[in-house]
Amino acid sequence: MTFSLDGVRRRFLGRTGPVAALDGVSLEVAPGERVVVLGPSGAGKTTLFGILNTTVRPSEGQVRFEGEAVEALSRRSLRAVRRRIGTVFQQPRLVPSLTVLQNALLGRSGHWSTARALGAWIRPAREDRERVEAALESVGLLHRLGARADELSGGEQQRVAIARVLVQEPSAVLADEPFSSLDPALRDGMAELLLGVAARGRTLVAVMHDVGFALRHFPRVVGLRAGRIAFDLPSAQVTPESLERLYPRAAPGTPARKGGDAADVLACAR
Amino acid sequence: MSSPALADRPPARRPSAAWLAVGAFLVWSVEEAGVSPGALFSAESARGLSRLLRGLLPLDLSPDFLAVVGGAVLRTVCIGLAGTALAVVLAVPLGLLATPTLFRPGTMAAGDGPLAWLLLGAHLVARALLRIFRAVPELLWALLFVVAVGLGPRAGALALAVSYAGVLGRVYADLLEDVDPGPAEMLAASGARRAPVVLFALVPQALPGLLGYTVYSLECAIRSAAVLGFVGAGGIGQELQLSMRLFEYGQVSTLLLALLGVMLAGEAVSGLMRRATRSARAGGLPSAPRWLRLLAPAAVLGSLWGSDLLGRADVGLLRRMGRFAAQLLPPDLSPAFLRSLPVPLLQTLAVAGAGTLLGVLVGAALAPLASRGLMLRPRGAPGRADLGGVLAAAVHLGTRATLAVLRGIPEMLWVLVCIVAVGFGPFAGVLALGLHTGGVLGKLWAEALDEVGPGPLEVLDAAGASAAVRSLWGAWPQARPLVASYGLLRWEFNLRVSALVGFVGGGGLGLRLYNAVQLGFHQQVCTMVLLILGLVTLSDGLSSALRRSWLTSPGVRPEPGPGPIASRLSIAARGLSS
């Protein structure tokens, strides 16, 4: 199993006492699988994401990545695990004053010793540079290699972030609402890129808001609600009822919620 | 290899002429200031330092000496408080006069006719006066006042009053200038004169800033007061200087502890005042709680009395100051004297340059270790605690403590310590400036590294990058402008100090100045003060031009309004140069 979560809980200290962001989540993701996590705001999607990319420690329960129990790892081995997990964040999170090339190069940063990192300032190693050029080519940004990251448009920045993950060559890719900062016209092209990253047998777990898009592109759908798994189904078996458990139908007379009318969304997606 | 990418590579960054000039200047500084690491690591230096270190313990806690320390602490606080109070009295009218929106032609409140021109003249004079108050270092003001009014806390309080008035007046004018012009324009449009515009449109908007900065400068003034004693202006500094010269190192460590206590108490009191004035009415104008309103005037009166400015207010005081001022003029411009100036002047520049360089090196080495984000593992991350993590935390805490000591000891005291190691001369000045600057820069830079946008650091962390790689590739590129600017600000500050380290034996212009003061060559003093004034003004102008060119380098998107960096800097600039 790439990821295996067993009874994971995560509590945060809220204003009125501890709040459970995740409340007993068990989940297994097999190598090469493509899974999307859906859920309304506050369902615990981002916390789940942090648990998966090993930056958030569960309050209870066990997390394994490719069979290794994350909790028991030393710092060094934890870094080795993180090298194998590529992450596309909601925002591109580029270093604004560095170039496109340098930002993409940071996909390799997990492999660098301090000396190598210093060397990369002056001149990146040949193989690193070749990887970067290949990755930038596949996201169509090779011609912007020397541009500063803060000169790029939002869509271009997110493409650099995807190139960074390509350079990293991870065995699993996590994506947290990767398109929410983009306008709809850009989303489809970007989706293709993201799914392309997950080709070559890589596992892909995406956290998403856009139900229609999720159902179109991901064979397995996990519904998260109030920190618990509401359903875990192949996308063909997702019904309006199961979606309604995530996004309850708006009460009559109130404007529709962001999730829209579940049946309509489902109809659109098919 | 001709991949299409190569053609589009960024142009290789060539060192610009400015950088080459800076580099050449630094190399020259190191040479000119007689930096000789050999002297530092000689047997003689080791003997001196080990005697110093062994002498620091045990503390001298004899009742007689404790009484002396208590008196010195009290006088230091009095000097700081009285100096700030007098500075505010000076700064309010000067700051108002220096506010451009009120007096420049074409602004809303400016009328026309001869009176308007007269006021414009007064406005320009006020700005020039504030500039002079600021540009002459406070220690130099103290030296001048010691001559004018005699040894003791009186000279210290007056020196602080003048030099803090320069800073406060400028800040007041800036704050009044920066408010939303809407209300003022409305009042002016309805025919209001200056006074109502100031009272009802400008001051209410600027009040939180005005009060906040005044309280902050009280804290700085108390810290300064502890140092002024090095030229005989009373307080802890005077006792420190004395004990150091008498080789009574046990007394030195007692005094240092007292100094630390005074500084911490100053910070605590000003924090308390800030909270008290801020929280009184949320959202509304800050107002002081009753205890502060009762206590403040009493404290000010007490401090004025404690710095010998009340009890025997004699007319003779003013007459003596006037006589001294008259003796300063005209400045001595005889060729023989002028010819003797370039050597110490260049030495002063070199001490500032080499000292800043050393400070930058020390700060750069320690800042990453003092950064919380890079040394401490983020809370809530998985993985087990290991020896490496514990070790990193220990190094982090140790570095922060070291930096606190480096910057807690004033430059003038560092000079005395370094003289023990390497003897009199510019090298001692370089070491002193470098150690103190390293402590300041290490802290400021660590904060700059910790306050960068967290996004890229999280990305690097998630990709498994080590702490060193995170700091190098994630934090440093973002912190660079702020880091460079802090470095420049410190250079400006160090130039002021390097002109004075000679007072206690650190080389440069200071020694000449001190001797001229002691021997009563007041016209020579005047020439050298003007020289320092010119030097400081020139270097401030140069470095603010450099800073502007960095902050608006191509590719940096202009941020709406004063960006966080720009506003942080203007605050830091005021803080550092005061």
What is the ipTM for the molecules in this complex? 0.83
**Which strands form A228-234's sheet, in the order they lie side by side?**
A85-88, A172-176, A203-208, A34-38, A220-225, A228-234
Instruction: Give the Cα separation of B437 and B487 in Å (integer).
Output: 9
Percent of chain A at pLDDT > 90 equals 25
Name residue, tokens 């390497």: B422
Tokens representing residue A45 in the block: 């999607």
Kindly determine whether residue A79 and residue B465, on different chains, have CB atoms separated by under 8 Å: yes
Q: For chain B, how many residues are written?
A: 578
Residue A150 dihedral angles phi and psi, to the nearest 5°: -80, 5
pLDDT of the residue at B202: 82
For residue A109, the distance in angstroms to the closest alpha carbon of chain B comes to: 5
Tokens representing residue B296 in the block: 């403040």
Kindly determine whether residue B9 and residue A106, on different chains, have CB atoms separated by under 8 Å: no
Tokens representing residue A22 in the block: 């995740």
Tokens representing residue A23 in the block: 């409340």
Which residues of chain B are within 8 Å of residue A93 when distances are taken between CB atoms? 455-456, 458-459
Residue of A nearest to B470 (CA): A109
For residue A49, the distance in angstroms to the closest alpha carbon of chain B comes to: 11
pTM, to two decimals? 0.77
Residue of A nearest to B557 (CA): A150
Tokens representing residue B238 in the block: 């005077």
Domain positions in chain A: 1-84+172-232, 95-169
CA–chain centroid gap for B199, Å, is: 31
A139, A160 in Cβ contact below 8 A? yes
Tokens representing residue A248 in the block: 């309850």
pLDDT of the residue at B181: 78
Kindly determine whether residue B383 and residue A85, on different chains, have CB atoms separated by under 8 Å: no
Kindly determine whether residue A106 and residue B5, on different chains, have CB atoms separated by under 8 Å: no
Q: For chain A, how many residues are written?
A: 270
Kindly determine whether residue A55 and residue B381, on different chains, have CB atoms separated by under 8 Å: yes
- Residue A99 is given by DSSP the state B
Dihedral-angle region of residue B70 (phi above 0 means left; psi in -120 to 50 means alpha; beta otherwise): alpha
- Residue B307 is given by DSSP the state T
Residue A249 one-letter amino acid: R
CA distances from A201 to A37, A135, A195 (A): 19, 17, 11
Q: Domain A1-84+172-232, what architecture?
A: 3-Layer(aba) Sandwich (3.40)
Which residues of chain A are within 8 Å of residue B469 when distances are taken between CB atoms? 109, 112, 114, 117
Comparing CA positions, the residue from B446, B428, B426 lying closest to residue B436 is: B428
The per-residue pLDDT for range A259-269, each reduced to its tens digit, is 455 566 666 65
Kindly determine whether residue A75 and residue B5, on different chains, have CB atoms separated by under 8 Å: no
Comparing CA positions, the residue from B165, B143, B157, B162 lying closest to residue B75 is: B157
pLDDT of the residue at A85: 92
Collapsed DSSP state (helix, strand, coil) of residue A83: helix
Comparing CA positions, the residue from B256, B288, B108, B274 lying closest to residue B184 is: B108
Kindly determine whether residue A109 and residue B473, on different chains, have CB atoms separated by under 8 Å: yes
Instruction: Give the Cα separation of A97 and B476 in Å (integer).
Output: 10
In chain A, % helix, strand, coil (3-state, to 5) comes to 40, 25, 35
Instruction: Give the Cα separation of A152 and A144 in Å (integer).
Output: 9
Best B1, B13, B466 residue to mutate vs chain A (most A CBs within 10 Å): B466
For residue B459, the distance in angstroms to the closest alpha carbon of chain A comes to: 7
Collapsed DSSP state (helix, strand, coil) of residue A95: coil
Which residues of chain B are within 8 Å of residue A114 when distances are taken between CB atoms? 466, 468-469, 472
Instruction: Give the Cα separation of B183 and B177 in Å (integer).
Output: 13
Comparing CA positions, the residue from B529, B212, B383 lying closest to residue A70 is: B383
Instruction: Give the Cα separation of A111 and A82 in Å (integer).
Output: 10
- Which of A35 and B58 is assigned the larger pLDDT? A35
CA distances from B571 to A129, B176, B408, B576 (A): 42, 15, 20, 9
- The CA-CA-CA angle for residues B3, B8, B13, to 5°, reads 120
A224, A38 in Cβ contact below 8 A? yes
Residue A252, number of CB atoms within 10 A of its CB: 5
**Which among B10, B380, B468 is the nearest to A57, CB-wise?**
B380
Instruction: Give the Cα separation of B532 and B534 in Å (integer).
Output: 5
**B534 CB-contact burial (10 Å; exposed 0-12 / middle 13-18 / buried 19+):** exposed
Element (H, E) at A68: strand A68-69
Comparing CA positions, the residue from A36, A46, A49 lying closest to residue A235 is: A36
Kindly determine whether residue B465 and residue A81, on different chains, have CB atoms separated by under 8 Å: no
Kindly determine whether residue A93 and residue B459, on different chains, have CB atoms separated by under 8 Å: yes
Q: Hey, which residues does A88 pair with through a beta bridge?
A: A175
Instruction: Give the Cα separation of B558 and B556 in Å (integer).
Output: 6
The per-residue pLDDT for range A203-259, each reduced to its tens digit, is 999 988 778 888 888 899 999 988 899 899 898 888 888 888 887 764 444 444 444
**Which among B381, B388, B555 is the nearest to A57, CB-wise?**
B381
Kindly determine whether residue A133 and residue B386, on different chains, have CB atoms separated by under 8 Å: no
Tokens representing residue B300 in the block: 């000010």
- Cis previous bond, B58, omega within 30: yes
Best A145, A166, A168, A174 residue to mutate vs chain B (most B CBs within 10 Å): A145
For residue A205, the distance in angstroms to the closest alpha carbon of chain B comes to: 15
Best B379, B458, B459, B557 residue to mutate vs chain A (most A CBs within 10 Å): B459
Which residues of chain B are within 8 Å of residue A136 when distances are taken between CB atoms? 5
Q: Hey, which residues does A68 pair with through a beta bridge?
A: A65
A167, A136 in Cβ contact below 8 A? no
For residue B473, the distance in angstroms to the closest alpha carbon of chain A comes to: 8
B517 half-sphere exposure, CB direction, 13 A CA radius: 23
Tokens representing residue B53 in the block: 């270190």
- Which of A152 and B198 is assigned the larger pLDDT? A152
Kindly determine whether residue B473 and residue A89, on different chains, have CB atoms separated by under 8 Å: no
Tokens representing residue A63 in the block: 């997390």
**Which among B383, B456, B469 is the nearest to A112, CB-wise?**
B469
CA distances from A50 to A176, B109, B394, B435, B474 (A): 9, 58, 28, 43, 20
Residue B136, number of CB atoms within 10 A of its CB: 22
**Which among B4, B9, B473 is the nearest to A146, CB-wise?**
B9
Residue B94 one-letter amino acid: L
Give chain B's domains with CATH numbers: 73-309 (1.10.3720.10)
- Cis previous bond, B331, omega within 30: no
**Which among A82, A117, A120 is the nearest to B464, CB-wise?**
A82
Which residues of chain A are within 8 Å of residue B377 when distances are taken between CB atoms? 75
User: Which positions in chain B have a beta carbon within 8 angstroms of at least one beta carbon in chain A?
Assistant: 3-5, 8-10, 377-378, 380-384, 386, 388-389, 453, 455-456, 458-466, 468-470, 472-474, 477-478, 480, 555-557
Instruction: Give the Cα separation of B277 and A183 in Å (integer).
Output: 47
- Non-local (6+) Cβ contacts of B232 within 8 A are B142, B146, B151, B152, B155, B238
Kindly determine whether residue A145 and residue B556, on different chains, have CB atoms separated by under 8 Å: no
Q: Hey, which residues does A36 pair with through a beta bridge?
A: A206, A221
pLDDT averaged per 10 residues in sequence order, chain B, 578 residues: 42 62 87 79 80 79 84 88 91 88 66 76 89 86 85 87 90 83 78 78 80 82 84 82 83 86 81 68 57 80 79 69 81 82 88 92 91 76 75 90 86 85 85 92 87 86 86 87 84 86 81 84 87 86 74 42 40 40
For residue A257, the distance in angstroms to the closest alpha carbon of chain B comes to: 30
**Which among B386, B455, B463 is the nearest to A110, CB-wise?**
B463
What is the C-alpha end-to-end distance of chain B, expressed in Å? 56
**Which among A57, A79, A99 is the nearest to B464, CB-wise?**
A79
- Residue B385 is given by DSSP the state -
Torsion (CA) B374, B379, B383, B385 in degrees, nearest 10: 80
Name residue, tokens 């007056």: B158
- Residue A22 is given by DSSP the state E
- Non-local (6+) Cβ contacts of A109 within 8 A are A117, B460, B463, B464, B465, B469, B470, B473
Question: Per-residue b/e over B414-434, b at no fewer than 16 CB within 10 Å?
Answer: bbbbbbbbbebbbbbbbbbbb
Instruction: Give the Cα separation of B40 and B431 in Å (integer).
Output: 10
* DSSP assignment of A131-153: HHHHHHHHTT-GGGTTSBGGGS-
Instruction: Give the Cα separation of B347 and B353 in Å (integer).
Output: 10
**Which among B456, B466, B470 is the nearest to A93, CB-wise?**
B456
CA–chain centroid gap for B62, Å, is: 35
* DSSP assignment of B75-141: HHHHHHHHHHHHHHHHHHHHHHHT-HHHHSTTSTT---SHHHHHHHHHHHHHHHHHHHHHHS-HHHH
Instruction: Give the Cα separation of A101 and A128 in Å (integer).
Output: 10
Instruction: Give the Cα separation of A195 and A217 in Å (integer).
Output: 8
What is the C-alpha end-to-end distance of chain A, expressed in Å? 30
The per-residue pLDDT for range A185-215, each reduced to its tens digit, is 777 777 788 888 777 778 999 988 778 888 8
Question: Per-residue b/e over A143-171, b at no fewer than 16 CB within 10 Å?
Answer: ebbebbbebbeebbbbbbbbbbbbbbbbb
Kindly determine whether residue B463 and residue A91, on different chains, have CB atoms separated by under 8 Å: no
